Structure 1
Amino acid sequence: MTWLLLTLHVLLIAGFGLRILLRSDMRPDVRLAWLMVIVLLPYVSCLLYFLFGEVALGRVPGKKRLNVGEFCKAQGSSVAAATPAACSGAGIPAQWQPAFRYASSINGFQVLPGHRARLMSDGAEARAQMLADMEAASREINVLYYIWLDDQTGTELAQALIRAARRGVTCRAMVDGLGSHALIQSGLWQQMKQGGVHLAVALPISHPLKVMLTSRIDLRNHRKITLIDGQITYCGSQNCADEAFRLKPRFAPWVDIMLRMQGPLVAQMQQAFASDWAQSDAGVAPPSIAAATAQAGGFGAVGIAEGPTERPRSTPQLVASLLACARQEVVISTPYFVPDTTVLDALCTAAWRGVQVTLILPARNDSWIVGAVSRSHYWRLLTAGVHIHEFRPGLLHAKTLCLDGAVSLIGSTNLDLRSFDLNFENNVLLHDEATTQAIRQRQQSYIRESHAVTLEQVRATPWWKRIWDNLLGALSPVL
C-alpha cells in the first residue's frame, strides 16, 4: 500500500511538473513559482494549478471566443497597426510614436486626431455629468461595469437607463458575473429588465462547477465602459458604486478618476463593448459601429482593449514602451502594484537614466497580499531612485500614467499580474498637454495627501516582515 501511495504521489507531481515544463506560453518566473509550490505543497498546489494555473476561457456554446480585432474584422471593420505617417497625422511627436504604434498594434485600432476630454473633478461630478448625458441621449446608451452595486449611484444610473429606454433610446447594460453578482440577483436588475433595458452578463458564474472545470473562475471582465449616442465615452477607474463602497467600507472612500471624452476613439470603445456583448449571454444583437465625430483641433489618441484573448503580455510591454520614451518625468498611480519583471525593470531603468519616476500607492490596501508584494519591491525601486508615496485617506483606486507632461494612459488597468494576464481591460492613450496637466495636477493632490517612503524606513522593517513580504513577492506569479 505504501508503494502504491508513493507511486501515485510521484506520478502526480511528475505529471503536473511535466505539464508546466512543456508549456511554451509560460514566463520563466511563473514556471519556477509553480514548480516551487508543487514541490512544497504538492496536493493543494496541484489542485490550484488545475483550477487557476492556465488561462483558459470556456467557449460560448456554438461560438468561437474572438479577440477584439477578430470581432471587428468579422463585422467588416478595418483594423491595422498605425504607421508612422498615421501617428504624425494625428499630431503625435516622433518621441512618442513608437509607444503609440505599439498601442495601436494590440487591437488594430488607429491612432487618430480630433479628440477632446474633460477631467471630472471627483466621483460626484462624474456621476452627475454621466446622468445628464444619459438624460440627453436620443439613440443609444451602452454601459459595462465590473462592479455595479444597488446603492445610490447604482440605483440612479439604473433609473436613468429605464427612463431612456421608455422614451425610445436603445439601452444595453452589461456587468461582470462575479464583480456584480449581487446586482444580478437583486430587484434592481429585474426593474431594468422590465423597464426595457437589454441586459447581459459577461463571464457568468451561475454554474460555478462548470466554470471551474472548463475555464477559470478568476478570469473577469474588469472593463468600465460608458457610451452615449456613439459620440461620448467615459474612461477611467470608477465602477458603478458609491465612494463608500459598501463591499469594503473600512477602506473607504474609494478615490477614482474619470475622463469624459469625445472623438473617434468612441467608436473604438464601442467595438470593444460590441465584442463583449456579442460573446455574452445577451439575447439582443450588439450595437452597430458608426464613426464618431472628430472634434475640430482635437488631440491624438487611441483606444486599447486588453484581455486574455488579446496578444499575451501586451500591457506590460506597452508600459515599458512608454517608459522607454520618457525623458523627464513619469508619475504613476495604481491601487494594485504587482509588477512583472518587464515593468519593474522598465521603472528602474527609467530612474537610473535620470527620469524622475514617482509611484503613488495606497497606504492601506484592501488586499493584504497585494500590499505585501508591493512592499517587497520597495528596496529595489528606491535604490534605483524611484520616488514612492503612500496615499493615506482611503483607497486610491485611480489608474493613471503621465509622462513628460504630454502623454497620459488612463483606464481600468492596474499594474498587477491580474490585469496583465487575466482581466479584460480598457484604456486610452492620449497626447495632449492640457489633459495630461489636469491629470498630473490630480496626481499631485494625491501626493499631498500621502507620505513618502524612504530607503531608511524600508531598511528598518523588522526581519520577520521582510521575510513575509519577500516570500509573497516570490510567489506573486501564481497568486
Structure 2
Amino acid sequence: MSIIIILHALLVLVFTLRILLRDDLSPPGRLAWFIVLNALPYVGSLFYFLFGEIDLGNHATKRHDEIFGEINAQASSFMGKSDYCYQCIEQVYQPAFLYGGSINGFHPLDGNIAELMPDSETTLTRMIADIDAATDQVHVLYYIWLTDITGTALAEALMRAAQRGVTCRVLADGLGSRHLIKSVLWQRMKEAGVHLAVALPINNIIYTLITSRIDLRNHRKITVIDSRITYCGSSNSADPEFLVKKKYAPWIDIMLRFKGPVVAQNQLLFASDWMQATGEAFNSIHLATEVFEKGFPAQVMGFGPTERTGAAPQLFSNLFACAQESILLTTPYFVPDTTVLEALCTAAHRGVKVTLIFPKKNDSWIVAAASHSYYRRLLDAGCTIFEHRKGLLHSKILTVDGKVSLIGSSNLDLRSFDLNYENNLLLQDRQLTQAINERQFTYIEGSDEVKLPEVLNWPFYRRISNNVVATLGPIL
C-alpha cells in the first residue's frame, strides 16, 4: 500500500512540477490543469501527457523558421513594408495593421478589390469557373474536404486543369479531410496529375499522440488561382448540408473573392504550408501581382502553433482597442481568453456599440456552455448579443466602425488561438465593410436577442455547469 501511495504522490508531483516549469502556460490554464490533476490524478496525468502541451517538435519549429527565411529572401516585394502602413491606413487603425504585420511579415499592400459572394452555390460556381480558366497554377488548402457535391466538383475542376497542363497543388488536413484522403476521389486526383499532400498527417495515431497532439490541426481555407485570384472566408470544401453533422445544417458561411497584391500574400502563406508538408523548395511557386488603381489596402496573416504565442488574441484585442464607434462580430465558437474578453468589455464601457452574433444551436455543447458563461459579463458591460436560429452560423467576421474588416478561418476560441493553423485577411475599405455588415444584419434578422434578465433567470445548475466548463476551458 505504501508503494502505491508513493507512486501516486510521485505521479502528481512530476506533472505538477512540469506545469509549474512552463512559462508559456497562462495562469487560468495552469489552474485548470491543477484542478484536473487533483480531482482525477490518473486520468488527468494521462490527458496532460496526450494533450497538455502545444508542441510540434523542434524540427517543425526549425523548418518553419527556415521556410519564412526563404520566403523573405525571395519574395520580400510581395510582403510589403511596415512604414507603408502609415500611408494607406487611417491613423486610428494603424496599431492593428502594424501588429498584424509583425506576425508573419505580411504588411498592408494597396490596390486590392473584392467581391462578397452571395451564397455557397455562387461561391462554388465562380471558383470552378476560375479554375477552368486557369493557365498556370492552382493552389488549394482546406481543413475539411468532403466527397459530397461541392468537394467532388472542386476535385473534378482541379483534375481538368491538371490534364491541360496547369500545375495544381492540393493540401488537405490529415484529420479534417481524412475521409477524402482515403477515398477513390483522392486517388483519381493523383492519377490525373494533381500534386497532393497531407497537412499534419496521422498515419500512426500512437506515434502522433506520444510525440505531439492529434488535435493540432491545419484549419486554413485557401484557394489561389494563377496568382491573380484568391478566395478567403469560412467555407470548407463541403455542401451547406454538411452531411457529417447534418443535424446542425445548414452551415452558413461567408466567402470573398479577392484580386490584387494581397493574392500573392495568400499564395505565400499556402507556400509555407506546402513546403512544410512536402519539403519542396520555394522556387517551384510562381508569383505575380496586379494593382488596381481604386483598390483598398489589405494584408494576410497566418496564426499557428509554430507562430508567436498569443498572436491571434492580441490582434483581436488591438482591433477592439482601435474601434471608435462600432464592433460587429460573428463567430460560431466564442471561448475568449482574458485578453479578448477584457478588450471587448472595455470597448463597450467606453461607448463603442459592440454587437455579437453567435449560433443558437452549436455543434459543440462544451463550446456552447463556455460561451454562455460569458454572457452576463458581456451584457453588464453593454454588449448586445444575438443568437442565430437557423442551422449553424459558421461565418467568422469582425468589422470595426464600418471601415475595417477581418475575415478568414479564425474563431474566437482557445483552439483557434493556440492549436490551429489559421488564415485571415485584414482590410480597410468602407464600401466592402458595409457590404459585409449588411450580411451580418441578415444574420441578426434571423436571430433572437439575448437579454440580461433572461440570463439572470437561468437555473442555478445551468449557471454552475457553464462556469465549470469555462473554468476548464483552457485545457479543452
Q: TM-score range by the shorter chain?
A: over 0.9
In structure 2, the residue matched to 1:8 is 7
In structure 1, the residue matched to 2:41 is 42
Separation of aligned partners in 1, 2:374 and 2:7: 39
Aligned residues of 2:100 and 2:107 also touching (Cα < 8 A): no
Aligned equivalent of 1:424, options 421, 424, 445? 421
From the superposition, tell whether residues 61 and 473 of structure 1 become closer, same or farther in structure 2 (CA, over 3 Å). closer
From the superposition, tell whether residues 279 and 303 of structure 1 become closer, same or farther in structure 2 (CA, over 3 Å). same
Separation of aligned partners in 2, 1:78 and 1:296: 18
Q: Report whether the alignment pairs 1:410 with 2:394.
A: no
The one-letter code of the counterpart of 1:140 is: Q
Aligned equivalent of 1:358, options 355, 359, 365? 355
Equivalences for 1:126-137 in 2 at 5 Å?
126-137=123-134
Aligned residues of 1:81 and 1:105 also touching (Cα < 8 A): no
1:399-458 deviations in whole A, cap 9, x for unaligned? 000010000000000000000001000000000001100100000000000000010110
Separation of aligned partners in 1, 2:283 and 2:424: 21
Separation of aligned partners in 2, 1:67 and 1:330: 37
The alpha carbon displacement at 1:70 in A equals 3.5
Aligned residues of 2:79 and 2:265 also touching (Cα < 8 A): no
Separation of aligned partners in 2, 1:360 and 1:176: 28
In structure 1, the residue matched to 2:26 is 27
Aligned residues of 1:400 and 1:410 also touching (Cα < 8 A): yes
1:279-308 deviations in whole A, cap 9, x for unaligned? 114779774242411112100011011111
The one-letter code of the counterpart of 2:84 is: A
Partner-residue secondary structure (3-state), 2:423: strand
The alpha carbon displacement at 1:65 in A equals 3.9
Separation of aligned partners in 2, 1:63 and 1:304: 20
Separation of aligned partners in 2, 1:63 and 1:474: 34
Aligned equivalent of 2:86, options 85, 88, 97? 88
The alpha carbon displacement at 1:64 in A equals 2.8
1:47-79 deviations in whole A, cap 9, x for unaligned? 111111111114669973438633523656469
Aligned equivalent of 2:167, options 170, 185, 190? 170
From the superposition, tell whether residues 256 and 205 of structure 1 become closer, same or farther in structure 2 (CA, over 3 Å). same
The one-letter code of the counterpart of 2:28 is: D
- The 10-residue stretch of structure 1 (169-178 or 262-271) with the greater mean CA deviation from structure 2: 262-271
Aligned residues of 1:82 and 1:105 also touching (Cα < 8 A): no
Aligned residues of 2:80 and 2:109 also touching (Cα < 8 A): no
Separation of aligned partners in 2, 1:314 and 1:127: 31
From the superposition, tell whether residues 30 and 413 of structure 1 become closer, same or farther in structure 2 (CA, over 3 Å). same
In structure 2, the residue matched to 1:57 is 56
Partner-residue secondary structure (3-state), 1:242: coil
Equivalences for 1:67-106 in 2 at 5 Å?
69-73=68-72, 75=74, 77=76, 82-83=81-82, 85-89=83-87, 91-106=88-103
Separation of aligned partners in 2, 1:444 and 1:458: 23
Partner-residue secondary structure (3-state), 1:441: helix
In structure 2, the residue matched to 1:218 is 215
Separation of aligned partners in 1, 2:160 and 2:422: 29
Name stretches of at least 5 consecutive residues in structure 2 with no aligned partner: none
In structure 1, the residue matched to 2:384 is 387
The alpha carbon displacement at 1:80 in A equals 7.8
1:122-178 deviations in whole A, cap 9, x for unaligned? 111111110110011010100000000000000000000000001110001110000
Q: CA RMSD in A?
A: 1.8
Partner-residue secondary structure (3-state), 2:63: coil
Partner-residue secondary structure (3-state), 1:205: coil
Aligned residues of 2:332 and 2:392 also touching (Cα < 8 A): yes
Separation of aligned partners in 2, 1:441 and 1:280: 39
Q: Report whether the alignment pairs 1:322 with 2:319.
A: yes
In structure 1, the residue matched to 2:263 is 266
From the superposition, tell whether residues 61 and 121 of structure 1 become closer, same or farther in structure 2 (CA, over 3 Å). closer
From the superposition, tell whether residues 81 and 180 of structure 1 become closer, same or farther in structure 2 (CA, over 3 Å). same
The one-letter code of the counterpart of 1:26 is: L
Separation of aligned partners in 1, 2:199 and 2:59: 11
Aligned residues of 1:201 and 1:282 also touching (Cα < 8 A): no
From the superposition, tell whether residues 53 and 339 of structure 1 become closer, same or farther in structure 2 (CA, over 3 Å). same
Separation of aligned partners in 1, 2:81 and 2:6: 56
Separation of aligned partners in 2, 1:430 and 1:458: 35
1:216-275 deviations in whole A, cap 9, x for unaligned? 110000000000001110000000000000010000000000010011111111111111
- The 10-residue stretch of structure 1 (407-416 or 31-40) with the greater mean CA deviation from structure 2: 31-40
1:361-406 deviations in whole A, cap 9, x for unaligned? 0000000000000000001000001100000110000000001000
Equivalences for 1:145-156 in 2 at 5 Å?
145-156=142-153
Q: Report whether the alignment pairs 1:369 with 2:375.
A: no
Partner-residue secondary structure (3-state), 2:72: helix
Q: Report whether the alignment pairs 1:310 with 2:307.
A: yes
Aligned residues of 2:67 and 2:275 also touching (Cα < 8 A): no
In structure 2, the residue matched to 1:191 is 188
Partner-residue secondary structure (3-state), 2:144: coil
From the superposition, tell whether residues 131 and 106 of structure 1 become closer, same or farther in structure 2 (CA, over 3 Å). same
From the superposition, tell whether residues 300 and 168 of structure 1 become closer, same or farther in structure 2 (CA, over 3 Å). same
Q: Report whether the alignment pairs 1:441 with 2:438.
A: yes
Aligned residues of 1:391 and 1:451 also touching (Cα < 8 A): yes
In structure 1, the residue matched to 2:463 is 466
Aligned residues of 1:68 and 1:271 also touching (Cα < 8 A): no
1:181-223 deviations in whole A, cap 9, x for unaligned? 0000100000100011000000001111111111111000000
How many residue pairs match? The answer is 476
Aligned residues of 1:60 and 1:280 also touching (Cα < 8 A): no
The one-letter code of the counterpart of 2:71 is: C
Which is helix-richer, 1 or 2? Answer: 2
Length-normalised TM-score, structure 1 = 0.96
1:286-338 deviations in whole A, cap 9, x for unaligned? 74242411112100011011111111100100000001010100000000001
Separation of aligned partners in 2, 1:277 and 1:40: 43
The one-letter code of the counterpart of 2:398 is: L
